[in-house]
Amino acid sequence: MELFLQLIVTGVMLGSIFALVSLGWVLIYKCSGVLNLAMGELTMIGGYVCLAFYQKFVTIMPVNYAFVLALIGTVIIGLILGLLTERIFLRKMIGEPVLAVIMVTVGLSFFFKGLVFMIWDTDTQVFLPRIFSIEPIVIWGITVGAVYLWSFIAAMVLMVIFICFFKYTRWGLSMQACADDEMAALSLGVSAKFVYALAWAIAFMAAGVGGTLLGNINGLNYSVSSLGLLVLPAVVLGGLNSVPGAIVGGITIGILQNLAGGYGEAYVPGSKEVAPFVFMVIFLLFKPYGLWGWERIERV
Amino acid sequence: MSYLPCGTYFESYADDQKWWRTNFIKGKMIFMVVLLAAAPYIVGSQWMSVFYTINYYILAALGVQLLIGYCGQITLGHAAFVAVGGYTSAMMVLFLPWPQFMVDAGLVYPISIVCAGFAAALWSVLFGLPSARVKGFYLIMTTMAAQWITLRLVITQLSKIGGREQSFPLPPGIIKIGPWVIDSDEKIYYFSVILVLICLVAMGNLLRSKMGRAWIAIRDNDIAAETMGVNIVVYKLLAFFVSGFFAGIAGAFWISALFFVSPENYEWFYSLLWVGIILIGGVGSIQGIVFGSAFVVIVFKLLEISVLGLSDILMTSYPEWGWVTTKIIFFKESAFGLAIIFFLIYEPNGIAYRYWQLKNYFNLWPFSYTGK
């Protein structure tokens, strides 16, 4: 029972990172209708950029400050990269068929992956000196790694910031308007180009922070990008165009992965990686539009 | 050439639908077969590996083209089905207790190819089942799931058989078709050419049949197809079955070229590569598969050659820049990504469309009346 609770709690915390990254994914989809398969690579880039900043900063200041500064640097780089990506590659694809747009994001994922490995190589790299202590924290008898707890807090804070941004700022409202009905938004003077750019920038920022947190948990290497790809089952579970769905889906995938790792691995090795996808396929057979996705009614 | 010359009239529907309608086309095809047969003597045997890689990509992309280009079902997990084919064939050749006379007659590998085709086809239908209910991005996700699930299963379950590491080497001489042992690059090349010709003809014929017309109807508008009386679930699953079958054959062929099977030849990268190939070549065109595969393989090869040449220069004159050569794989990957993006942005119809334009131009030359 204790193991079960522990797996659940760690799963929720890991899942909150997935939820953060899926939030970025859903934003892009809602605002511009692009199904982004490069999310894993965006996550990985974030991790590596943060590592580079951290290694620079840590020589001149204490660890905590260095990490926070590096995180801010990652967010800024994410913003710039997001704007550039949208401007150079995605804007030309507005109005093209779905497969073409998807394959552009696949091309982007190849491009980014090659770029990252060209710059940083494929060896596993870790944040040294450690930012979070190895000592686990005990809450009500459940042991949790410090890095998980802090990741959870960071992901939650960021998600609250993003949601406030959508609800209360002018830019956020224009994004909501565009997602709701693009034609109406355009006719009321919302700039669609600006909204698309903003969505990509936010996705890059969220993925960057997510990648940093994942990199702190396991070390940075290619596996971060496959962890980042787990946002896809997460968003499918939640329905593609629902922000709460993405958050619930992310946390579900985190729990599922941890449970499969804790219990299934003994019987079926490798079930930790497979479980989210198996669950997703079976889930889709029964609820083809996810939990809160819009059902599309089609006519000839 | 694609137009018929003046004065040629067909008197029956069968004549009109023939593969080779005029003597010119017949001659062209025979010339092509002769060219393929003579290729090792023309270009030299060191290029054979490039040629059979092209053929392998054609075989693998055939199924992808069928699903995406003709049936409209987007798949991003085709490497999984190729893996099933490769592993089925290898496991059958290595571990089944074959009677001696079959081994002597060289029947083992051909039988295993057919079985690999069926195994991959069934596996593909299994993951095509959700296509009855979902489409678009949700279907992409289920095919992606196929990729992850299959590769994990292969790595964790199969790789343990016989207590070996992750790859199964195939001892020389075990890949044998009839009296021919496939052991040199030329033999692999000829074998691949024969397989590709058979599969391309089979695919072309399927597309002319009732089944192919149903697939194209589903691609163009599935609801309209359903109202016209096409049973879309059955035909979608048939499309998955046939494309899985081609994938299985591709996988079974590729073990004869590699002489081993190992999971890293079936990574997700390859699934995406094949989709990229049909996009570069042209979606919904059989020629497109050939053009796309040739383009991708040759560009990769040229990049490799140029970088290797560059590395010699670097090593002698700028030794501190030698690390550049270790990054070649990543450079290739980046370049491929950019190639897909720029093809989609600037050449969305693929190479096959340009070829068609060229053919039309020469058909009417010197009296072309189109401005293009």
Here the tokens at position A90 are 């995605």
Report pLDDT for B163.
42
pLDDT at position B162 over 50: no
Between B248 and A282, where is the model more confident?
B248
Does A240 lie at the interface with B, CB-CB under 8 angstroms? yes
- Phi–psi pair at B180, nearest 5 degrees: -90, 125
B23 assigned to some structural domain: no
B26 assigned to some structural domain: no
- Report the b/e string of A17-41 with b at 16+ CB within 10 A: bbbbbbbbbbbbbbbbbbbbbbbbb
* A56-102 per-position pLDDT tens digit: 888 888 888 888 899 899 999 999 999 999 898 888 887 777 778 88
- Inter-chain CB proximity B144 and A268 less than 8 Å: no
- Residue B345 to residue A45: CA distance in whole angstroms: 24
Q: How confident is the model over B332-348, as a mean pLDDT?
A: 86
- Residue B186 to residue B42: CA distance in whole angstroms: 12
- Inter-chain CB proximity B283 and A281 less than 8 Å: no
Nearest residue in chain A measured CA to CA from B347: A100
Most confident of B4-13, B111-120, B306-315: B111-120
- Inter-chain CB proximity B334 and A98 less than 8 Å: no
B370 assigned to some structural domain: no
Report pLDDT for A62.
84
pLDDT at position B159 over 90: no
- Inter-chain CB proximity B148 and A277 less than 8 Å: yes
User: Would you say B124 and B241 are in contact if contact means Cβ atoms under 8 Å apart?
Assistant: yes
Per DSSP (E only), the strands in chain B are 168-169, 176-177, 180-181, 260-261
Does B220 lie at the interface with A, CB-CB under 8 angstroms? no
- Inter-chain CB proximity A103 and B275 less than 8 Å: yes
Least confident of A118-127, A190-199, B2-11, B308-317: B2-11
Closest CA to B246 of B75, B33, B19: B75
B172 assigned to some structural domain: yes
Nearest residue in chain B measured CA to CA from A99: B74
B197 assigned to some structural domain: yes
B256 assigned to some structural domain: yes
pLDDT at position B366 over 80: no
Q: How confident is the model over A183-208, as a mean pLDDT?
A: 88
Per DSSP (E only), the strands in B227-362 are 260-261
B165 assigned to some structural domain: yes
pLDDT-based confidence at residue B1 (cuts at 50, 70, 90): very low
User: Would you say B362 and B1 are in contact if contact means Cβ atoms under 8 Å apart?
Assistant: yes
Which chain A residues are within 8 Å of B68, Cβ to Cβ?
99
- Inter-chain CB proximity B339 and A37 less than 8 Å: no
Distance from the Cα of B23 to chain A's closest Cα (Å) equals 39
B14 assigned to some structural domain: no
Q: Full-prediction pTM beyond 0.95? A: no
Nearest residue in chain B measured CA to CA from A105: B341
* A123-166 per-position pLDDT tens digit: 888 877 777 777 777 877 777 888 888 888 888 888 888 888 88
Between A216 and B329, where is the model more confident?
A216
* B68-106 per-position pLDDT tens digit: 999 988 888 899 999 999 999 988 888 888 888 888 888
Q: How confident is the model over A35-54, as a mean pLDDT?
A: 89
Number of domains into which chain B is organized: 1
Chain mean pLDDT for chain A: 85
Q: Which of A119, A277, A286, A295 to mutate to test the interface with B (most CBs of B within 10 A)?
A: A277
Distance from the Cα of B370 to chain A's closest Cα (Å) equals 26
Q: What is the widest separation between alpha-carbon atoms in chain B?
A: 73
Does A275 lie at the interface with B, CB-CB under 8 angstroms? no
- CATH code of the domain containing B195: 1.10.3470
Does B133 lie at the interface with A, CB-CB under 8 angstroms? yes
Which of A111, A278, A285 lies nearest to residue B130, judging by beta carbons? A285
Q: Which domain holds residue B127?
A: 45-364
- Residue B326 to residue B345: CA distance in whole angstroms: 31
User: Would you say A254 and A18 are in contact if contact means Cβ atoms under 8 Å apart?
Assistant: yes
